[in-house]
Amino acid sequence: MALIVIDNVKKVYGEEGVVTAVLHGVSFSVEEGEFISIMGPSGSGKSTLLHILGLLDRPTSGTYFFAGENTAVLSDEALAIARNKKIGFVFQSFHLLARTSVLENVILPLYYSNVPKKDYISKAKIALEHVKLGHRLNHLPHQLSGGEKQRVAIARALVNDPKVLFADEPTGNLDSKTGKAVMDTLDNLHRQGKTIIVITHETSTASYANRIISISDGNIVSDQKSNSRHSHFSK
């Protein structure tokens, strides 16, 4: 079974008269190992879609099967556990804890897992080696460049060995050079078998994916395979 199966997912915000429909019935599925870009202008509903896919929000209607489970029947606590074990997030504004070392930022998801405490540091180090930041363990976030911060965030997303990585505008706060480094890191993870879903409005970032889903006004307008990988950044 596919990793992600959503069927006719709708999301409506607001109550008592003032109702804003953000998603108008979206359906698609994602196989394990895919690298997908979800593209669309701001206000298209792509962030809402990511929140639903990332189990941070629930759809108003429609069904969502994640890793074979119907998410509608899962409790909030079960969703939190699923986020912890099976999902990694990378955000546009990094969301690293200030005054907290790189190592401890990466350990953060392990606190909420059932990983034994003695394995925290070794797991975090492996994740940081993965993003080539093994030499920055005791640095504080404000001592890092934007690209390094985002790679710490990627290491944090990886530390629990999730099934899928969601990245919300991962290059949005970075210049094109560091953005390329971050996307290369994600690309590398994809080659190693991770499922990656990136939300972006930049075609250069989207071009890394092998499948691009375009969304506009809450509807999927196109869903196609892409072969144009690296076309932009490789120049």
Partner 1 sequence: MNFITTTKTAIRALRAHLGRSMLTILGIVIGVVAIVLVIALGQGAQDLILNQVQSIGSNTIIVRPGRQPTGPSDAADTILSDSLKQTDVTALLKPVNVPDLESVAPAVLVPSAIAHDNTLFRGTVLGWTPEALGQVFNVNPDRGAFFTADDVRQAARVIVIGNKVKEDLFGDSDALGEFVSVKGQKLQIVGILPPKGQVSAFNVDEIALIPYTTAQKTILGINHFHELFIRAKEGANVDTVVADIEATLRETHNITDPEKDDFFVVTQASVIATVKTVTQTLTIFLVAIASISLMVAGIGIMNIMLVSVTERTQEIGLRKALGATNRNILLQFLIESLILTSTGGIIGTTIAIAIAALVSYIAQTYFNIAWPFTLPLGAIFLGVGVSSAIGLLFGIYPARKAAAKNPIDALRFE
Binding site for partner 1 (CB under 8 A): 51, 54, 56-57, 76-77, 80-81, 83-85, 89, 91, 95, 97-100, 108-109, 111-113, 117, 156, 160
Comparison of 46 and 232: residue with beta carbon closer to partner 1: 46
Comparison of 56 and 126: residue with beta carbon closer to partner 1: 56
CB of 221 to partner 1, least distance (A): 24
CB 211 within 8 A of CB 4: no
CB of 165 to partner 1, least distance (A): 13
Integer angstrom CA distances of residue 120 from 85, 94, 100, 111, 127: 14, 21, 15, 8, 11
CB 66 within 8 A of CB 163: no
Radius of gyration of the chain measured on its C-alpha atoms: 18
CB of 21 to partner 1, least distance (A): 17
Comparison of 28 and 91: residue with beta carbon closer to partner 1: 91
CB 48 within 8 A of CB 11: yes
CB of 156 to partner 1, least distance (A): 7
Q: Is 33 exposed, middle or buried (0-12, 13-18, 19+ CB in 10 A)?
A: middle
CB of 96 to partner 1, least distance (A): 9
By DSSP bridging, strand 164-168 and strand 20-30 are: unpaired
Sign of the torsion angle spanned by Cα atoms 83, 84, 88, 90: positive
Comparison of 86 and 229: residue with beta carbon closer to partner 1: 86
